[in-house]
Structure 1
Amino acid sequence: MEEQVTVQIDRDAVHWARRGEGLPLLVLLHGYGSDEKDLFALVPFLPEGVAVASLPAPLGAPWPMPGRSWYPIQELERRDPATVTAAADAVLRWLDAETADAPSIALLGFSQGASVAIQTMRRDPERISAVVNLSGYASPGDLPNDPGLRERRTPVFWGRGTNDDVIPPELVEHTAQWLPEHAELSGRVYQGLTHSVSEDELADVRRFLERWLEDAQAEG
Structure 2
Amino acid sequence: MPLPSPDLTIDRDAVLWSASERDRAGRPLLVLLHGYASDEADLFGISAYLPLEPVIASVRAPIPEGQGFAWFSRFTNVPGDPLAANADAAARAVLDWLDDQPVTPTGLLGFSQGGAMALQLLRLAPERFDYAVQLSGFVVQGDGADDARLAAHRPPVFWGRGTADETIPAASIARTTAWLPDHTELDARIYEGMGHSISTRELADIAAFIRLHLRS
User: Smaller-chain TM-score range?
Assistant: over 0.9
Decide whether the 8 Å contact of 2:71 with 2:87 is kept in 1: yes
Q: Secondary structure at the match of 1:131?
A: strand
CA shift at 1:139, angstroms?
0.4
CA shift at 1:187, angstroms?
2.3
Q: Secondary structure at the match of 1:188?
A: strand
Equivalents in 2 of 1:92, 1:58: separation in Å?
A: 13
In the alignment of these two chains, the number of paired residues is 210
Distance 1:157 1:77, change over 3 A: closer
Q: Secondary structure at the match of 2:79?
A: helix
Moved over 3 A (4+): none
Deviation string, structure 1 residues 38-71 (Cα, Å, up to 9, x no partner): 111111101011100000000111xxx2011111
Equivalents in 2 of 1:33, 1:4: separation in Å?
A: 20
Q: Secondary structure at the match of 2:115?
A: helix
Kindly report the root-mean-square deviation, in angstroms, between the aligned alpha carbons of the 2 structures: 1.4
CA shift at 1:22, angstroms?
2.0
Decide whether the 8 Å contact of 1:75 with 1:81 is kept in 2: no
Deviation string, structure 1 residues 118-160 (Cα, Å, up to 9, x no partner): 0011000010110000000000101111001101110000000
Residue identity in the other structure for 1:85: D
Q: Secondary structure at the match of 1:9?
A: coil
What is the aligned partner in structure 2 of residue 11 from structure 1? 12
Are 1:37 and 2:41 matched, yes or no? yes
Superposition map of 1:88-99 within 5 A? 88-97=91-100, 99=101
Decide whether the 8 Å contact of 1:22 with 1:101 is kept in 2: no
Decide whether the 8 Å contact of 2:81 with 2:172 is kept in 1: no
Superposition map of 1:18-33 within 5 A? 18=19, 19=21, 20-33=24-37
Deviation string, structure 1 residues 50-95 (Cα, Å, up to 9, x no partner): 100000000111xxx2011111123326642111111111110010
TM-score (norm 2): 0.93
Equivalents in 2 of 1:5, 1:79: separation in Å?
A: 13
Are 1:58 and 2:46 matched, yes or no? no
Superposition map of 1:127-142 within 5 A? 127-142=128-143
Decide whether the 8 Å contact of 1:21 with 1:51 is kept in 2: no
Equivalents in 2 of 1:206, 1:77: separation in Å?
A: 26
Superposition map of 1:41-190 within 5 A? 41-61=45-65, 65-73=66-74, 74-76=77-79, 79-97=82-100, 99-102=101-104, 104-190=105-191
Distance 1:191 1:145, change over 3 A: same
